[in-house]
């Protein structure tokens, strides 16, 4: 029995190490290319400022648009076929689409490939769900936390590596390297990840209508969905044009790709610094208070970004933004965990993921439109207003929870 337990331990630990590396590379590869997508598109033709901003916003957000549409479908299929298959699907398609973006000769090819990438994405979410089922209960908190660290670390280092590669070898090489890395993730996952999966027949799965009908706090759940959308929109509004703003602040001189990568990575530094502390804080106090505090601080941080005159000022403010944003989406997920019955986790969280992906569509489009009509810094004022509206919207439901 001891030997069997040891073998089981080795199996899930090997799966964990493989999936940790897969999540790290997925986040690394994605963030390596995203800060420079607008600069890359600028090399594919002669565009006016308005056209470049619009195409950058569409190329950036269309991945989230397709993800928002198909997430519930993949969530249901994962319950029927297993999470490992979903990880292989995501890493395999991402390897192909990202590599092919590097060969694109037209902005429309980039947009099409980014649409396909979003439609088949989901490696990190499915890796997390897989390990939640494979890990012993007494180790689950540690394992989930470490997987989150893989995501944050990859997101943090990606823009730095991407900036170095794009600055020295060109934008296309960044996409080629990312595609090859995702191919490596596919191979490692296929060989080393083991899943003890028990399928759920499609006829036994509850409809989303029935799940919502059984929820006690429907208004709060819907408010959390809306909060996820608005928070993600605010965090992503500047993403597709951040390199263009940095280029403007640097007056077109210097290593714009590297500086853009550093500025884009600054929120990751802030989030990584306080993520574990925020988690412990939510265990000690109510997550609703943490969420409200995070929204308020985020609003305050966005306003001075309107007045920045250098990449250094922007980078410092984005670092502080990372500190506050670490309190928002994790707090939403914690609130959902408390208010949703365990048998409905899969479906509810897949819909929450859809709202998050929708925020990834709305935010960049807002940023692109506002920057085209006004200027790049105006995006920060609009974003501050968006977060403030979110703050007052959830106050309608949050006080009920805080005084229960």
Which pLDDT score, from 0 to 100, does residue 328 have? Answer: 76
For residue 92 the two structure tokens come to 């395999």
CATH class of 207-404: mainly alpha
pLDDT at 365 over 90: no
Over the stretch 71-116, which tens digit does the pLDDT of each residue have?
778 877 777 777 888 899 999 999 999 999 999 999 999 999 999 9
pLDDT at 313 over 80: yes
Which pLDDT score, from 0 to 100, does residue 3 have? Answer: 43
CATH number of 1-205: 1.20.1250.20
Q: How many CB atoms lie within 10 A of CB 345?
A: 14
Q: Determine if the pTM surpasses 0.75.
A: no
CA proximity to 357, closest of 86, 102, 70: 70
Q: In the chain, which residues fall in CATH 1.20.1250.20?
A: 1-205, 207-404
Which pLDDT score, from 0 to 100, does residue 176 have? Answer: 93
What is d(CA 97, CA 290) in angstroms, rounded to the nearest whole number?
Answer: 38
Residue reference for tokens 């928070």: 231
Over the stretch 134-186, which tens digit does the pLDDT of each residue have?
776 555 545 665 676 677 778 778 877 887 888 788 889 989 999 999 999 99
Q: Please, which residues have CB within 8 angstroms of residue 38's CB and are 6 or more apart in sequence?
A: 52, 53, 56, 60, 240, 241, 243, 244
Please provide residue 202's backbone torsions phi and psi, each rounded to the nearest 5 degrees: -60, -35
Which pLDDT score, from 0 to 100, does residue 137 have? Answer: 54
CA proximity to 113, closest of 100, 126, 128: 100
Over the stretch 191-204, which tens digit does the pLDDT of each residue have?
998 887 776 666 66
What is d(CA 266, CA 268) in angstroms, rounded to the nearest whole number?
Answer: 5
Handedness of CA 372, 376, 381, 387 (dihedral sign): positive
């Amino acid at each position: 029995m001891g030997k069997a337990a040891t073998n089981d331990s080795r199996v899930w630990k090997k799966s964990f190490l493989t999936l940790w590396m897969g999540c790290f590379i997925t986040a690394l590869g994605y963030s390596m290319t995203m800060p420079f997508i607008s600069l890359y598109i600028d090399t594919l033709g002669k565009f006016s400022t308005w056209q470049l901003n619009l195409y950058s916003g569409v190329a950036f957000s269309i991945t989230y648009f397709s993800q928002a549409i198909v997430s519930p479908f993949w969530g249901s299929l994962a319950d029927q076929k297993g999470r490992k298959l979903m990880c292989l699907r995501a890493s395999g398609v991402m390897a192909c689409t990202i590599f092919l973006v590097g060969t694109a000769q037209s902005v429309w090819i980039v947009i099409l490939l980014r649409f396909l990438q979003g439609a088949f994405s989901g490696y990190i979410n499915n890796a997390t769900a897989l390990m939640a089922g494979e890990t012993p209960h007494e180790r689950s908190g540690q394992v989930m936390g470490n997987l989150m660290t893989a995501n944050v670390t990859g997101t943090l280092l990606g823009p730095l590596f991407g900036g170095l590669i794009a600055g020295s070898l060109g934008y296309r090489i960044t996409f080629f390297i990312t595609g090859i890395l995702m191919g490596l993730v596919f191979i490692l996952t296929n060989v080393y990840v083991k899943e003890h999966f028990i399928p759920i027949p499609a006829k036994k799965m509850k409809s989303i209508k029935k799940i919502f009908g059984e929820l006690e706090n429907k208004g709060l759940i819907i408010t959390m969905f809306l909060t996820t959308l608005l928070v993600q929109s605010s965090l992503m509004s500047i993403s597709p044009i951040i390199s263009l703003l940095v280029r403007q602040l640097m007056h077109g001189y210097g290593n714009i790709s590297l500086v853009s990568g550093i500025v884009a990575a600054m929120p990751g530094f802030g989030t990584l610094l306080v993520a574990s502390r925020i988690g412990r804080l939510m265990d000690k106090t109510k997550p609703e208070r943490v969420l409200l505090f995070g929204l308020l601080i985020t609003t305050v941080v966005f306003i001075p970004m309107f007045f920045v005159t250098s990449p250094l000022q922007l980078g410092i403010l984005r670092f502080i933004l990372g500190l506050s944003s670490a309190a928002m989406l994790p707090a939403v997920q914690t609130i959902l965990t408390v208010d949703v019955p365990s048998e409905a986790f899969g479906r509810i969280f897949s819909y929450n993921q859809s709202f998050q992906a929708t925020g990834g569509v709305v935010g960049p489009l807002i940023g692109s439109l506002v920057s085209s009509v006004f200027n790049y810094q105006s995006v920060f004022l609009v974003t501050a207003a968006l977060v403030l509206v979110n703050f007052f919207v959830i106050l309608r439901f949050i006080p009920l929870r805080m005084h229960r």
